[in-house]
Amino acid sequence: MHPFLYGTLITTLYIAVAVGIMFIARKLINIPDELFRKILHFILLGAYIPLCFAFEAWWMATVYALSLIVILFPALFLAQRIPMFSAFVNERKKGEFVSSMVYAVGMMAFSIVVCWGLFGDKYLVLASIYAWGIGDALAALIGKKFGKHKIKWKIADGKKSVEGSLAMFVCALVSVFTVLLIKGGISIPMCLCIAFLAALVCTFTELCAKNGLDTILCPVSAMVVIIPMVILL
């Protein structure tokens, strides 16, 4: 089988099965709206693994990611006109689900081009994305449930809490550290140092980002920290 077709098959199969299971589960059991949103978020994050390891070359993975935008955007744009769809995916405002998906998949393509295409390291893709993605999801869940201390800084969006931001920082630190450790070639103290700085920058960026732009700004801020330090090492 051609390498591009193989990567396409594996990644599409993962997305179809994971999303299908969640939508069936949504119908059968009572999954809280916010938890359902974040599970879909984690499914998208999981797609980075077959993208980076099922495709033979970075440009193949990029073409696949861009093709998702071409296919998904018109389909979701039409679907959002159905009231039941917006309620099912728990949109906070009209068009939010479509825009967030386009941001996320666009960032998917961009991170692959920069980290894997320009710098030749697919692990940098995972480190940069997971610095934001995992922490952002858990920060939202923890912040909504336990976030009693709101951060009132002028530059903050006013909705974030100390508890949520702390969850974001810890998750980002653990995610980046784990990816760099698996990547190898960097000492444990340096992995920890890079992860700490990336987590700090990502948490601050997420705290200030508004209108869903954290999907773009946080991974980019992580790249700005992680890539130069890894290259220097």
pLDDT tens track for 128-153: 999 888 877 777 777 666 656 666 66
- Dmax (CA) for the chain in angstroms is 55
- Distance separating alpha carbons of residues 209 and 164, to the nearest angstrom: 14
Return the bridge partners of 150, or none.
161
Percent of the chain with pLDDT over 70: 82
Average pLDDT rounded to a whole number, residues 223-233: 89
pLDDT of residue 143: 67
pLDDT of residue 118: 93
Q: Which of 66-70, 77-81, 192-196 has the highest average model confidence (pLDDT)?
A: 192-196
Return the bridge partners of 161, or none.
150
Averaged pLDDT of the chain: 83
> Which phi and psi (to 5°) does residue 18 adopt?
-65, -50
Confidence class of residue 44 from pLDDT cuts 50, 70 and 90? Answer: confident
pLDDT of residue 39: 82
- Give, in order, the Cα–Cα distances in Å from 226 to each of 128, 130, 138: 7, 12, 22
pLDDT tens track for 160-184: 777 778 888 999 999 999 999 999 8
| Residue, of 114 and 74, whose pLDDT is higher | 114
CB 222 within 8 A of CB 131: yes
Percent of the chain with pLDDT over 90: 39
pLDDT of residue 10: 94
pLDDT tens track for 76-128: 667 666 666 666 666 566 666 677 778 888 888 999 999 999 999 999 999 99
Confidence class of residue 48 from pLDDT cuts 50, 70 and 90? Answer: very high
